[in-house]
Structure 1
């Protein structure tokens, strides 16, 4: 199966190329970058020399549909909403790594993302691709909204205990930290080396576009209105996300019992690994992999649960989960092409 990648020079696209290169059932077909069309991919990324030899292309729905079987959109927000319908109408399965189809409410999307929303017809058609939670819906999807990196780490860390009803839903606080690749490849002042090195920066306090996505998933899973406190930080590393999440328990439950709840919830999901008592995951322990590692601790003094969830933002938070979803959509084992051991050290 040939896969087209739209938005070919961003970090998400490059991670798709790396993972598809060793996938047994998919291979890179067309790579689209309107801004650099005609240039060899290896001229943009020399590490791809003799690996990806085709030149970058412009977007042409007719040609792409003839030459490819599935389409990954790794474009900035506000772009895929215009391009995805053209490929859907050609009968192609589409997986969108941007935020254009994640929020069902068009007005909410416009408010948080500051772009015109996608056509309501396609918003209704889109399936939210949190692989471990919505696999049954994903199996029959033709348009899939790949979750954001922060929402993947947070919701996988929260859903098992929140869904049980053991948590005061009004008390959820998320302290999230990301490597600088989460800000994309374009240079800004905040991602400039002199600004990010030896520094930790809080940003978009109360205004991050992933807030409504996280709340939408938690509300879907609990049937309750949930509002979170979500604080994001850039830290001086290339990739990785750690979400430290704090919430009050309604009644006392031990750390051991919470871990058992998570182990049962994720026992059939190979990419979520729950740590034993006293074992807290780090970002380096999932680097380059599609794993989400979760550590848990109940403080009996405050009756507050701490959940630590870590992912690689470019793999489980983007390209890896997109391929995991493609596997599910095509009836393959969800682990296909994604069994890499994390890079360590």
Structure 2
């Protein structure tokens, strides 16, 4: 902790969180790294599957790909935070040229990325839920929503609005080192602020939009179930396999918000405990931090597992490719022996 405090010259106050995690257990770092790598691999597989398997392409899947891109961006931000942590705690002095100003700039940049990317994923999750609801309530409206002319509006909401929201904390210089008090091994809202200021900026940058997403998507989910029951309409149809329809395997998209809630639950529990006890002396804090660091970085991997589990046509496509390769090898061998 002394080296962290020496680098940034920060001191705790009675109104600031008092527990620091400057020397984190190695297993937290390793689990976070593994989680990020698996998520990036999962994101790449989702993208490749969408591009090279035409049978699975529809508008809902396109929105899902954008959600995956946001999760990947978050993983890159976490990796930046991990690299910075390793630099600060490097005992070999290999990074002696990295002064506190460089490290603080990296910290602020990483905090901006890891605030922006989750906010983007929240907005895309909400738009996916709303689009599925319109498929149930009014298929004609959903078809109009899936036109390319409307796609610009989706991008403005999904990418542009979170950028504006995350620039506000940057303008007020509240991003920075928090010594993993309420995050994993990465930066967010800096230490040195009062408790009220810290909570306010948490909600302005990420948490407010996170809880807003939970409320909206849960309400939309209930409306989808009610509308399906009332109108006896199943939007996940096989007969209309067009770009504007939903596939039976798109059912998992209805539950992306629930996965989001579960994966981010440890971090929210940890934040609630910290707000209730600013000294941070609550039981199981290291365990909660370990789970938070692992799950927060695993959203893309979780989506990948669900996507490939429900979408059987991807496996069928890979099987056909394998059979074609075998046939080519067999034909090539026959020609060589002729």
Superposition TM-score, scaled by structure 2 size: 0.28
Greater length-normalized contact order (CA 8 Å, ≥ 6 residues apart)? 2
User: Whose radius of gyration is greater, 1 or 2?
Assistant: 2
Which structure has greater strand proportion?
1
Which structure has greater helix proportion?
2
